[in-house]
Structure 1
Amino acid sequence: MKITEIKSCFVGPAISPEQFITEHFFLFLAKGTMNGYDCNKHYTLKPGESCIVRKNRLARYNKVRTDENEFEKVIFFFDELFLKNFQKKHRINFQNHTSKDAFIKLKKDELINSFLLSLEPYYNGSGNVNETFSNLKREELLLILLQLHPELSDILFDFGVPGRLDLEEFMQRNYKFNVSMERFAFLTGRSLSAFKRDFKTIFNETPNRWLIKRRLQEARFLIEEKKQRPTDIYVDLGFENLSHFSFAFKKQFGISASSLQSI
């Protein structure tokens, strides 16, 4: 079986609909293309490529199907409980490696390809690996990844929580992500009450109001200066639907986004 003939499967919990990564996961792409963004970089994953997507990061990704409307991927979650159990069984060699990237591209290797091909007999009717063998296959995959990329040990086995960050700098970089205030508070190393208090001190505004205004400012810039269409930007700016974006834009600026586009 060719590597591109691998069918989609998941091992672990479902991916959160939020743009907040709750657990590390391995992603292999068999068909289609995936584009990712983490406020620092844009990433592209093509067929035959794989990456680690890191926990406690804000990230956005979208899939592009093939001309035949196909998109096939393999996802293995490495949740904290699994990783702690793995650490008890295996010696972990730390490399003092640091990285800010939410998407860590992995080099192509026959060990990964052979592992992925070995999954076929374990698929159940729903397209997932049979639960009886899922942890064994996760362990096998992680051993392969640590052999190929020893620096992953510093990322995967760091069980700490985010430390206190510069709130203003963080929000100016991450305002486009559509996540809850609880997530923003956690990622800046604060309780929700401390986050709201510090936010008010810095921005003289509530987080919800500031986020809407900041996103709309960026929207106006993109429409006026970059000649982009409202339909192409509202999702990337953190709005859940076009009608909400259009209503908020007109309320803020007194003119519709579509009218501004034609000026």
Structure 2
Amino acid sequence: MKVTNIQSCQLGPEISPEQFIPEHFFLYLLRGSMKAFDGNKHYQMVPGDFCIARKNHLVRYTKYKDNDEFEKIIITFDEPFLIAFLERHPVETHPSRADDAFLFLPKNKLIGHYVQSLEPYYTGNLQLDEAFADIKREELLMIILKTDPGMANIFFNFANPAKIDLTDFMNHNFRFNISLERFAYLTGRSLSSFKRDFQQAFGTNPGSWLKKKRLEEAYFQINRQHRKPSEVYLEVGFENLSHFSFAFKKEFGRAPTEVMP
């Protein structure tokens, strides 16, 4: 694995480009800053902060560059790696009630020294082969568990999401631009049962409801909160401005710019 100070440093599988976290990962911010939102809570990170991003959570990131640079270290703890780790280092686990998408770890010298040990790989042209990368991942996981043994309850919970209240979840998370399959999985349902339960709960199909709900939220932000359409469309789940503008005008009879106060 070759890394540079522009690409930052990543160990393990690539993280998803979606607004969905499919695997736990450790995030350390080197340069720039970041804000994130998980549907319920806002988070902010500055250089030197580090956290665990939790799998099966929705999250939206806003990155802010420092002198045109944004640098981070990401180390993914995917399920096959965690299962192999648990076989070598058995630990006792208990159900966890923590629900935040980001769990911030207390700052300590062990993690600081660990990050320093990776410096040749994110500031130079050195390469990490796969075997050594896994050793470094295991080292970090052992440090985290030593620092906070309760994190074992997070990492080694391999169960799928349980069935939850559909109405509450969708009203909190409709802004996230993910597939219906993801919504179904996160609410503990198959796609067919998700669509069936959705029709019963909202009286319409998921696609129509999501589109209308997102457009109503966009109208509110533009007309009442005085925000620009270019600032809103991504936040409410649209992929591009032209598609958003077309859908908005079709729904309300006016273009987004025409409802600005």
Is TM-score (shorter-chain normalized) higher than 0.5?
yes
Partner residue in 1 for 2:131:
132
After superposition, residues 244-263 of structure 1 pair within 5 angstroms as: 244-262=243-261
Displacement of 1:126 after TM fit? 6.9
Worse overlay, 163-172 or 7-16: 7-16
C-alpha contact 2:8 2:122 (8 A) present in aligned 1:
no
C-alpha contact 1:7 1:74 (8 A) present in aligned 2:
no
Worse overlay, 135-144 or 220-229: 220-229
SS of the aligned residue for 1:52 comes to strand
Specify whether residues 95 and 179 from structure 1 end up closer, same or farther in structure 2 by C-alpha distance, changes over 3 A only.
same
Displacement of 1:62 after TM fit? 2.2
Q: Deviations over 1:219-255 (max 9, x none)?
A: 1111121111111111010000111111111000001
SS of the aligned residue for 1:35 comes to strand
Paired residues, number = 257
SS of the aligned residue for 2:244 comes to helix
SS of the aligned residue for 1:184 comes to helix
Q: TM-score, normalised by structure 2?
A: 0.93
Partner residue in 2 for 1:83:
82
Partner residue in 1 for 2:188:
189
SS of the aligned residue for 1:185 comes to helix
Displacement of 1:9 after TM fit? 0.8
Distance across 1 between alignment mates of 2:7 and 2:141: 20
Q: Deviations over 1:65-118 (max 9, x none)?
A: 00x111111110000011011111113243654211001111211111111111
Distance across 2 between alignment mates of 1:214 and 1:127: 49
Distance across 1 between alignment mates of 2:121 and 2:132: 7
Distance across 2 between alignment mates of 1:169 and 1:223: 25
Worse overlay, 5-14 or 251-260: 5-14
Distance across 1 between alignment mates of 2:103 and 2:88: 25
Q: Deviations over 1:15-43 (max 9, x none)?
A: 21211111000000010001111011100
Distance across 2 between alignment mates of 1:65 and 1:195: 39
Q: TM-score, normalised by structure 1?
A: 0.92
Distance across 1 between alignment mates of 2:221 and 2:126: 41
Partner residue in 2 for 1:208:
207
SS of the aligned residue for 1:151 comes to helix
What residue ranges of structure 2 are gaps of 5+ in the alignment?
A: none
Distance across 1 between alignment mates of 2:100 and 2:181: 22
C-alpha contact 2:164 2:187 (8 A) present in aligned 1:
yes
What residue ranges of structure 1 are gaps of 5+ in the alignment?
A: none
Displacement of 1:128 after TM fit? 6.0
